[in-house]
Amino acid sequence: MSDPRRLLDLEPQGLERELLEFGRDDRISERSRQRIWAGVAGGVGAALPAAGTASAAGATGGAAAGAGGAAAGGSAAGGGAAVGGAAGAAAKLGLSAWVGIGLLSGGILVGGTAHFLSETAPPAVAMKVPRTSQSKAASVRLVAPVEASPATEPSVAENAAEPVAPAPATAAAAPPRAPSAALALRPRVAGGVSQSKEPPAVAAAPSAVPTPAAAPATAAPATAAPAASVTPDALEGELKVLDRARQALRGGDAKRAARELEEHNRRFSLGVLAPEAYVLRIELAFKRGDRAGASLLARDFLAKYPTSPHAARVRAVLAAASQ
Amino acid sequence: MLAIPIKRSVPPPPLGEEAAIALVKQPVSEPPAPESLAPPTAIDEARIRQAFDQHLNCVWRVLRRLGVPAGGVDDAVQRVFIVLARRIAVVEAGSERAFLLGTAARVASEIRRSPTQRREAGGELQLDCEIDPQPLPDEQIERRRAGALLDGILRSMPDSLSEVFVLYEFESLTVPEIAELLQVPVGTAASRLRRAREHFKERVAKLEAARNRQGAER
């Protein structure tokens, strides 16, 4: 039995054509694509064994709230699965090379930010997290929002900004083998959604602190917990600046890259993406032929962020600069 | 509602994952770790990435057309690809698309069956009549309207029909492929397609008649 010809091949007219073409051509927005990929990479991390970066025996949770639906909201909880999972998986799947593949807006958040937060959690906050919290605290949150628009809402609307609710994050101390990382592309349900007994460690709300509070990059305690307040707006702004810097660098416009990095330094010196900015700075120095400077910065970076997903890249730059 | 089985050759994901999709409000229990699966190899990762790049749009479309609301579709898409990533070792090379579409159809079905969605779906059935089919000037609005009308028509069909219709008309699968994906006999898939098309054309004709009537009145 042969298949009938497809309706669109029968050259329909009027509304029928319009609807069929819509159905055939409807596409996902670029923003969603990046967010989803970030989530997929983070989610795959749950299935991966804890990577090297998961040496932190404690748990981490990273959360980034969506800025008007812009930034990816990702939360990860669950010991090794979080650091080694979200960030590690990001590395495995190539997200750690965000500086090279243009996933900056959104894509980096799950891997990079969660990782960064875990690295730099201030001890004071880390202490708030009991070391013996239940190991199953990691939870999968797939937020299918209650207040979601009806299915008949046309897909064009998906490109529009979405309402933002505070993104609850979970922090829980768990063994490094905790099986899963939590995923929430758009965490809209405020508070208390995870099984964790811990209070949300990161509450990002549109009205929160204007600049991200980042801790000195010295603490990498075994029971690190995320402890930065990140406002969606600040994060979005930071992402934009770094994205411009990255593009300039890729395009060979070192001057512009330097300007953007200066801007980042000025506006977001304590930003959650400081390590990413640092990586760009190292690459910029290298591209300008400043091998000594690049080596110096690279060594400093590796000392500060030894388990960063960008460490491999930085080491590569260091090796090249040392030749 | 029809539960959609996926290809027998591909084991379904752990139940916990399905529950995670359906349960919106309650904390979701941890899905069992897929311990049987080895960590993805570099080749697996490349396949996942490639499948993502190549099939993202069709997965997204299928979820959208099969009733996943705009606000939940990104999560659903992510879920589908995570299922692929976890199962990549048992998904034959070349059948990623079929696996993804089958998973997407099943995920959409789960989401439709969730209590929250059912409430919303109840209202959707009437939507194709409620929306003013009169064209609006702005192109964006035009597209919005087309999407709303299309989804309204699809929602007014039984799920078993809309699945076949979407996979055939928009994703260009063949009837035997759809039959395999949905695990129904080819004759059944063909008959569903026929009925779905009749339903579609009938609805479109009604909408056009309404539009013309209104046009004449104005």
Of B82, B146, B174, nearest to A19 by CB-CB distance is B146
Q: What is the pLDDT of residue B129?
A: 35
Q: How confident is the model at residue A167 (pLDDT cuts 50, 70, 90)?
A: very low
Q: How far is B15 from chain A (nearest CA, A)?
A: 13
Contact A92 B45 (CB under 8 A): yes
Q: How confident is the model at residue A232 (pLDDT cuts 50, 70, 90)?
A: low
> Does residue B101 have a pLDDT over 60?
yes
DSSP tag of A75 = E
Q: How far apart are CA A238 and CA A240, in angstroms?
A: 5
Residue with the larger pLDDT of the pair B82 and B19? B82
The residue among B66, B77, B141, B164 with the most chain A CBs within 10 A of its CB, best to mutate, is B77
Residue with the larger pLDDT of the pair A82 and B137? B137
> Does residue B66 have a pLDDT over 90?
yes
> Does residue A161 have a pLDDT over 90?
no
Residue with the larger pLDDT of the pair A166 and A291? A291
Closest among A45, A169, A30 to A96, alpha carbons compared: A45
- Chain B positions touching A26 (Cβ under 8 A) are 61, 64-65, 147
Q: What is the pLDDT of residue B140?
A: 67
Q: How confident is the model at residue B166 (pLDDT cuts 50, 70, 90)?
A: very high
Q: What does the mean pLDDT of chain B come to?
A: 76
Interface check A136 vs B, CB under 8 A:
yes
Contact B39 A39 (CB under 8 A): no
Q: What is the pLDDT of residue B161?
A: 95
Average pLDDT of the segment spanning A91-115: 34
Tell me the DSSP string of chain B. -------TTSPPPPHHHHHHHH-SSSPPPPPPP-TTSPPP-HHHHHHHHHHHHHHHHHHHHHHHHTT--GGGHHHHHHHHHHHHHHHGGGSPTT-HHHHHHHHHHHHHHHHHHSHHHHHHHHHHTTHHHHS--S--SSHHHHHHHHHHHHHHHHHHS-HHHHHHHIIIIIT---HHHHHHHHT--HHHHHHHHHHHHHHHHHHHHHHHHHHHHHHHH-
Residue with the larger pLDDT of the pair A239 and A17? A17
User: Is there a contact between B171 and B109 (Cβ–Cβ < 8 Å)?
Assistant: no
Interface check A146 vs B, CB under 8 A:
yes
Interchain CB contacts (distance < 8 Å): A and B: 225
Task: Report residue A234 as tokens.
Answer: 């600040």
How many residues does this entry show for chain A?
323
Q: What does the mean pLDDT of chain A come to?
A: 56
The residue among A18, A29, A142 with the most chain B CBs within 10 A of its CB, best to mutate, is A142
Q: What's the one-letter identity of residue B108?
A: A
Q: What is residue A204's three-state secondary structure?
A: strand
Q: How far is B8 from chain A (nearest CA, A)?
A: 22
Contact A94 B49 (CB under 8 A): yes
For the stretch A292-311, pLDDT in tens is: 888 888 988 888 887 777 88
> Does residue B190 have a pLDDT over 80?
yes
Contact A23 B148 (CB under 8 A): no
Q: How many CB atoms lie within 10 A of CB B16?
A: 15
Q: How far is A57 from chain B (nearest CA, A)?
A: 19
> Does residue A287 have a pLDDT over 90?
no
- Highest mean pLDDT pick, A74-88, A135-149, B29-43, B187-201: B187-201
Q: What is the pLDDT of residue B10?
A: 44
What are the residues facing B192 on neighbouring strands?
Answer: none
Give the whole-number percent of chain A exceeding pLDDT 90. 5
Q: How many CB atoms lie within 10 A of CB A136?
A: 16
Of B170, B186, B190, nearest to A24 by CB-CB distance is B170
- Chain A positions touching B82 (Cβ under 8 A) are 39-40, 43-44, 183
Among A199-203, A254-258, A296-300, which stretch is predicted with the lowest mean pLDDT? Answer: A199-203
Selected residues 3-62 of chain B with any CB under 8 Å from a CB in chain A: 16-17, 20-21, 24-25, 27-34, 37, 39-40, 45, 48-49, 52, 56-57, 60-61
Give the whole-number percent of chain B exceeding pLDDT 90. 40
- Chain A positions touching B116 (Cβ under 8 A) are 144, 146
For residue B145, the chain A residue with the least C-alpha distance is A154
Task: Report residue B134 as tokens.
Answer: 């009169």
User: Is there a contact between A106 and A72 (Cβ–Cβ < 8 Å)?
Assistant: yes
Q: List, in sequence order, the alpha helices (H) in A156-273.
A: 232-250, 254-267
Interface check A303 vs B, CB under 8 A:
no
Average pLDDT of the segment spanning B109-120: 69
Q: What is the pLDDT of residue A36?
A: 87
Average pLDDT of the segment spanning B108-122: 67
> Does residue B132 have a pLDDT over 90?
no
Contact A152 B204 (CB under 8 A): no
User: Is there a contact between A75 and A184 (Cβ–Cβ < 8 Å)?
Assistant: yes
Give the whole-number percent of chain B exceeding pLDDT 70. 69
CA distances from A223 to A61, A80, A85, A234, A301 (A): 11, 11, 16, 27, 22
Average pLDDT of the segment spanning A285-297: 86
The overall pTM is greater than 0.95:
no
- Chain A positions touching B49 (Cβ under 8 A) are 93-94
Find the helix or strand (DSSP H, E) in which A31 lies: helix A30-47
CA distances from A266 to A114, A214, A250 (A): 23, 15, 22
For the stretch A53-90, pLDDT in tens is: 323 333 333 333 333 333 333 333 333 333 333 333 33
